[in-house]
Amino acid sequence: MRTSRITRLGLGGVLAGVLALTACAPTGSGGGTGSSGAGDGDAPEVSTELGDEPVELVLYDGAGLKTIDDALIAAFQDKFPNVTITTRFDPDNVQAQNAPRVLSSEDPPDLARINSLGSTAHNGLLTNLDPWAEAYGWTDLPSGQLAMYTVDEDGVRGTGSQFSLASGFVTTGLYVNTDLMAQLGIDAPPTTVAEWEEQLATAKAAGVTGIMAGNATGGGLTTLQFLLNGRVGADAINQWVYNAPDATIATPEGDEAVATLDEWIRAGYFNDDANGTDAAGALARFASGDGLFFASGNWDASGIAGQMDDVTFAAPPALTEGQFLAMSDPVSNFGIPAKAKAENKNAAAAFLNFLLSDEARQILVDNGFAPSGEGAAPTTEPGSLNEAVQASFVALVEADGQVQFIQNATPGITQTQNQEIQNLFGGKSSPTDVLPAIQKAYEEELGR
The enclosing H or E element of 176 equals: strand 172-177
Q: Which domain holds residue 261?
A: 171-329+384-446
d(CA 179, CA 158): 42
DSSP string, 39-90: -TT-PPPEES---SS-EEEEEEEEGGGHHHHHHHHHHHHHHSTTEEEEEEEE
CB burial of residue 13 (10 Å; 0-12, 13-18, 19+): middle
3-state secondary structure of 131: helix
Residue 153 lies in a domain: yes
Instruction: Report how far apart, in Å, the C-alpha atoms of 303 and of each of 19, 105, 134, 283, 293 are.
Output: 48, 34, 38, 8, 15
**231 & 319 share domain:** yes
**145 & 188 share domain:** no
Residue 27 lies in a domain: no
| Residue 231 · residue 320 · CB < 8 Å | no
End-to-end CA distance of the chain: 43
CA 316 to chain centre: 16
**210 & 155 share domain:** no
**132 & 182 share domain:** no
Residue 3 corresponds to which amino acid?
Answer: T
* Total domains in the fold of the chain: 2
Residue 12 lies in a domain: no
d(CA 204, CA 337): 49
CB burial of residue 236 (10 Å; 0-12, 13-18, 19+): buried
**397 & 271 share domain:** yes
Residue 280 lies in a domain: yes
Residue 5 lies in a domain: no
d(CA 176, CA 292): 6
**418 & 289 share domain:** yes
Residue 40 lies in a domain: no
**416 & 275 share domain:** yes
CATH number at residue 127: 3.40.190.10
pTM of the model: 0.74
Q: Tens-digit pLDDT profile for the chain (448 aa)?
A: 333 332 323 323 333 333 232 222 222 223 345 444 433 335 678 999 999 999 999 999 998 889 999 999 999 999 999 999 999 999 887 887 888 899 999 999 999 999 888 889 999 999 999 999 999 999 998 777 888 899 999 888 888 999 999 999 989 999 999 999 999 999 999 999 999 999 999 999 999 999 999 999 999 999 999 999 999 998 899 889 888 889 999 999 999 999 999 999 999 999 999 999 999 999 999 999 999 999 999 889 888 999 999 999 999 999 988 889 999 888 899 999 999 999 999 999 999 999 999 999 999 998 878 888 877 778 999 999 989 998 898 788 778 788 989 998 887 899 999 999 999 999 999 999 999 999 999 999 999 9
Residue 18 lies in a domain: no
**207 & 185 share domain:** yes
Residue 167 corresponds to which amino acid?
Answer: S
* DSSP-derived secondary structure letter, 427: T
Residue-level length of the chain: 448
